[in-house]
Amino acid sequence: MVAKTSRSGCMDDLSIALPIFEGAEEQDVVGPYEMFFWMSLFEALPPDRRPIGETDFAVDFIRESEFADYFYPKVAPKAKVFTVAPTINTYVMSSGMQWTPDFSYDNAPAANMIVAPGGRGAHDIPARHKDGTIDYIKRVANAPGSKYVMSVCTGAFLLGAAGLLDGRHCQVSSHNYDRFEREVPKAKLVKDPSLSFVQEGNLFTSNGPCSGHATALRLVEVHCGTGYKNNLRELIEYIVPPVKGALVENGKVTTIVV
């Protein structure tokens, strides 16, 4: 399920909503946000910009002047990603940062992709029902034209509460396996802490907070093509060993890397 060819302007058909709420984990939001925003900024850069055989993360991957043309435009490009919350208020996040969303659930633009974060607040399912977060996630995920559903860390609990994981293979923070199996018994949890993410069809679920980076990178590969995924790794200097994930097709789980 990877784009057969790298597609220029690939982010133009995505509108990505990242819900925030009291106690949402900062890293779960900002990690994917940055990945998708940078891909939007540089989507016109030719794919696989690094010449074949050249060392990864070479200094001449992109000229400084060219980087500046993309990164410092006089008019900022329209972002394909936004934050959304119950209301336009300031929320205290899981690690204490205070954030104000771009939109409320009632006035947000149409989205065709949802990224559910974890954090302390994701454990309080009754509160997330009460503030409309789970209904919003369900609405975006089930809307006609919905393309992808993603969670980071314990954001999988929110997807589970929305009924989006029934019969689906998924991942969650490995520190929460037992609780997840109790609270989301209809999901098919892949209990392997070495996996940063599990992908089944259009569903992407991840391990702990920093696993959201690899999960977002995999989604870029699926939607835009491997060439653009390679560009994004270089642009944000994602200098880490290959990260393992799992691809589920027809019930078979295969290990992949990004």
- Interval 155-205: pLDDT, tens: 999 999 999 999 999 999 999 999 999 999 999 999 999 999 999 999 999
**Residue 37 pLDDT more than 80?**
yes
Q: What is the pLDDT of residue 93?
A: 96
Per-residue confidence at 77, pLDDT binned at 50, 70, 90? low
Query: How large a percentage of the chain has pLDDT more than 70?
Result: 90
Q: Which residues contact 116 (CB under 8 A, 6 or more apart)?
A: 19, 122, 137, 149, 150, 151, 152, 155, 156, 158, 159
* pTM as predicted: 0.92
- Interval 114-133: pLDDT, tens: 999 999 999 999 999 999 99
Q: What is the pLDDT of residue 60?
A: 64
Per-residue confidence at 70, pLDDT binned at 50, 70, 90? confident
How far, in Å, CA of 231 to CA of 42, rounded?
9
**Residue 4 pLDDT more than 60?**
no
Domains of the chain, with CATH numbers?
10-146+212-257 (3.40.50.880)
Q: What is the pLDDT of residue 49?
A: 73
Which neighbouring-strand residues pair with 150? 115, 204
Query: Both tokens of residue 177?
Result: 């396996």
Query: Both tokens of residue 98?
Result: 């205070």
Residue 199: phi and psi, rounded to 5, are: -115, 125
